[in-house]
Structure 1
């Protein structure tokens, strides 16, 4: 993510304007040059190479982009709603983790005046949020009334009957907003993809392609995939693998975020076999790495996003091929934390050891910040324009988030870590995630409601269901607090204290970067080193 200087602002605005003008200019030139009179070479014509580009861009816009944009507006296929008791538990858990309820509703209703959020507006929002549907309340009206009564108690005032003019932000029901991408842009993506291939190959990674019959299902095409002898064991997911040769350390499964694929992570991946930034020379002491590629969020035209079950099944098959029956570290960045959430709730979970989440979007996902900042915020600063044009409005990204991103499936709570060692890396200037809220949540002891849920889950997983055993485990996962007096003392600490806690490699911990925006932790060796050292410690300690 770029900075917010004046020079960077004008640079990104010029880049966006230039890329966005390619299609209109090409279409206009093609119409003026060819349509009225047919092809007639004259002195004012561009060279044939340039004219070929204008024709290709025009045809791509008219024959590919416009039909594809229409096709991507199809309604989402929502998962079935959870049972009523689970819905009520989720509703309570969300309410327990909202610091500013009025601000919460104002952002979910796109900045509307709260007097315009009336009873029917709130029912419409709750139907989407907790019932995975739109339409009238129907048989769910009684339960919705319970939720609204609870909301009134929290607000300390009644909610007016009827419908106001406020419109709820319902990500998977609202229109899919996207912007055109030119063939020139996709050529740039293909070039960066080639650079990624060369760099990872140089650092000892092997590219695992899908079947050759799927070559034309991904654009830009990947011609180098025709020459690799390594084959992915699954239908959709491609990945990079570095063999695991260490007899004592844990391997790593890494899942990237929204962006141009694995290119921003190449230095990070190549340095994981060292805590100093220089790769280990011992061929028998290499930490194995699987770096999964998620193409629907990598600025490509490809297959639609996999469902939660499909994604977990394919990743499980990949892990089984390279880390059979072996515990591994699960590391992910940004959108990758959503897939991490699914894996932690899948049959693969027993194999997952420590978890490392970098700029995660799945923690406190009930808050409106991630969805609003990524999909609805009007850009003002340089980094916001970069996010808006290059990520939010990309066809694949927009469709993935607007039709395949179901928040109740993707959210993760502290209880879902089930006693694992967990590190979460956060940047204070993150333009997507409310990192201060996430950091406070992770650093605080579990509340009674979450503690009860953890006790229930722990009992079903073979751990002792007794209060004492589970509570000790929970407290150790939240900073080593184990007695009532220590818990009370921890609760009275300065709320900013957690930002400066020493990382110990135990429990749930936060690495706080006070000067970094989203994804900037990968940009410089000094910031990469902090997360690499923590990951290396997990590899060694397990």
Structure 2
């Protein structure tokens, strides 16, 4: 290997990560007991039925048998649902033109010569400076922009060295990205699909600074592109009692939260939410309502402390907490495996906020980049300040936040992104870290087993994921550089989000004062009440 190749970070192997003590502690104390509950229940039921002890033992034994029988029946039901999820994705490929625009935007990201702590000085006065104005051209292989692009693109190939990736691997990945399906033989593609694939591949090679090799032999079996919505769904079973206990806890928390803070649990057009509107609040002169979008996990159990804090400390304004059962392990909910799409969610939420009198989205975006720019150009900023909401999202909630900004930007007065997964998601870090990386420590194992491999979450991420809708670019954020209107909160030790990359992307576009970056912060740590990042967030929300 040449001296130059040794310097190429795209050729560096992934760092070896040994299993830690915390991994084994979580495995033995939490994961293994829950995982073993189902096979143990089967063994107990079979043993009892074969020996006939059910009719000769105490009521305690009988109660245990009934519980085990529930686990057996539920495991069959869970298996049926898992088989259903394992089928083809119900999400279509979308508009080819829009996908090409998105790919072009991805390839332009990082192409402009923007300093890490600034932006393109020639476009300082422009509302959207930076990469979108650039042209994709052939880069030199040693151009830092090309090297950086090759290095990050490896995430979609399991971190394989760039020299092991050939044109077939990239075509497979591009075809999935564009058409949400496995790539058929090239000679069977329609002219439109083949033309779009070849054009995008040509632009990608220019951006990468190299021409990918066409191998005569079969592609390297060690390299497999990540095809999120067509790859095998990773689902780990969990017992009926886990889901039942979570259902009881979340309903109990919902009852106590609404009663304590005079809030209401209700629904509108298929959206479920907790809402509290102070009787003294004036929609003309009062502070703007706060809408909170939660992330993946355990629903209210995970966010009850945060919601309790918001309801208790922001009594001067309305608050709406959107409940999302498909990412809250609410397996008994009728829409558990049928999450609302981008269009359904954004349009319904916009109508809900309008019906409450909190927002006015007279100018609506139709979902394209051009329409977004027209919408924002026509938007009356003063009207939006008077009729709009403060939207706060955490982790996976930033996808819904992105949908609203793309489709109905006029209803959001201020935006707060906490541990956002929507930025730089095209680089593959979030996808690889959360779903494909082998857990090696306790926190990673907790996230993988209790969240990432749960049936509803796996269904959402691996069968209903739409990367083009979920990716939010700087130029799509209204008032992105105004620290009073937009806040970004990142943790330097986030094990899901590559916070350093997101920070670099944001700061290169001029975002400085509106960025809270905790070098020691982990994913979710900013939501811990009393922490430095949380305190700053609450001060920012109260400032207006």
Q: Which moved more, 1:395-404 or 1:147-156?
A: 147-156
Instruction: Give the root-mean-square deviation of aligned CA atoms.
Output: 2.6
* Residues 331 and 356, structure 1, Cα contact 8 Å, conserved in 2: yes
SS of the aligned residue for 2:426 comes to coil
- Alignment-derived partner of residue 14 in structure 1: 29
* Residues 87 and 130, structure 1, Cα contact 8 Å, conserved in 2: no
Equivalent of residue 144 in structure 1, options 197, 201, 214? 197
**Structure 1 segment 92-107 matched on structure 2, within 5 A:** 92-94=107-109, 96=111, 100-107=148-155
**Structure 1 segment 499-538 matched on structure 2, within 5 A:** 503=513, 509-527=514-532, 528-537=534-543
Query: Which deviations, in whole Å up to 9, do the C-alpha atoms of 1:297-316 show, x marking residues without a partner?
Result: 00121311111111112212
**Structure 1 segment 174-213 matched on structure 2, within 5 A:** 174-209=231-266
Paired with 1:320 and 1:12, the residues of 2 have a C-alpha distance of 47
- Alignment-derived partner of residue 79 in structure 2: 66
- Alignment-derived partner of residue 388 in structure 2: 327
Change (3 A) 1:119 1:8: closer
Paired with 2:524 and 2:20, the residues of 1 have a C-alpha distance of 18
- Alignment-derived partner of residue 467 in structure 1: none
Change (3 A) 1:144 1:383: same
* Residues 272 and 536, structure 1, Cα contact 8 Å, conserved in 2: no
SS of the aligned residue for 1:47 comes to helix
| Alignment pair present for 1:306 and 2:311 | no
CA shift, 1:267, in A, is 3.1
* Residues 356 and 422, structure 1, Cα contact 8 Å, conserved in 2: yes
Paired with 2:160 and 2:58, the residues of 1 have a C-alpha distance of 53
* Residues 13 and 385, structure 1, Cα contact 8 Å, conserved in 2: no
CA shift, 1:8, in A, is 8.1
Paired with 2:233 and 2:242, the residues of 1 have a C-alpha distance of 21
Query: Which deviations, in whole Å up to 9, do the C-alpha atoms of 1:455-479 show, x marking residues without a partner?
Result: xxxxxxxxxxxxxxxxxxxxxxx35
CA shift, 1:91, in A, is 4.4
Paired with 2:498 and 2:264, the residues of 1 have a C-alpha distance of 35
Paired with 1:354 and 1:515, the residues of 2 have a C-alpha distance of 26
Q: Which moved more, 1:320-329 or 1:383-392?
A: 320-329
| Alignment pair present for 1:251 and 2:289 | yes
* Residues 23 and 445, structure 2, Cα contact 8 Å, conserved in 1: no
**Structure 1 segment 62-141 matched on structure 2, within 5 A:** 62=76, 64-76=77-89, 77-83=91-97, 86-87=101-102, 89-94=104-109, 96=111, 100-136=148-184, 137=186, 138=189, 139=191, 140-141=193-194
| Alignment pair present for 1:428 and 2:428 | no
Change (3 A) 1:313 1:146: closer
SS of the aligned residue for 2:214 comes to coil
CA shift, 1:205, in A, is 4.8
Q: Which moved more, 1:413-422 or 1:349-358?
A: 413-422
- Alignment-derived partner of residue 223 in structure 1: none
Change (3 A) 1:56 1:238: same
Paired with 1:265 and 1:46, the residues of 2 have a C-alpha distance of 36
CA shift, 1:45, in A, is 9.8
Query: Which deviations, in whole Å up to 9, do the C-alpha atoms of 1:49-97 show, x marking residues without a partner?
Result: 11111111011112x0111111111211224233175255334335638
Query: Which deviations, in whole Å up to 9, do the C-alpha atoms of 1:493-538 show, x marking residues without a partner?
Result: xxxxx5xxxx4xxxxx21112222111222231332221111111x
| Alignment pair present for 1:401 and 2:435 | no
- Alignment-derived partner of residue 470 in structure 2: 410
SS of the aligned residue for 1:432 comes to coil
* Residues 293 and 322, structure 2, Cα contact 8 Å, conserved in 1: yes
SS of the aligned residue for 1:100 comes to helix
| Alignment pair present for 1:353 and 2:400 | no
- Alignment-derived partner of residue 68 in structure 2: 54
Change (3 A) 1:91 1:438: closer
* Residues 255 and 336, structure 1, Cα contact 8 Å, conserved in 2: yes
* Residues 257 and 297, structure 1, Cα contact 8 Å, conserved in 2: yes
Paired with 2:330 and 2:97, the residues of 1 have a C-alpha distance of 37
SS of the aligned residue for 2:96 comes to coil
- Alignment-derived partner of residue 337 in structure 1: 398
| Corresponding residue pairs, total | 442
Change (3 A) 1:87 1:367: closer
Change (3 A) 1:335 1:40: closer
SS of the aligned residue for 2:230 comes to coil
| Alignment pair present for 1:234 and 2:291 | no
Paired with 1:290 and 1:428, the residues of 2 have a C-alpha distance of 29
Paired with 1:205 and 1:82, the residues of 2 have a C-alpha distance of 48
* Residues 343 and 349, structure 1, Cα contact 8 Å, conserved in 2: yes
CA shift, 1:46, in A, is 6.1
CA shift, 1:320, in A, is 2.5
* Residues 192 and 263, structure 1, Cα contact 8 Å, conserved in 2: yes
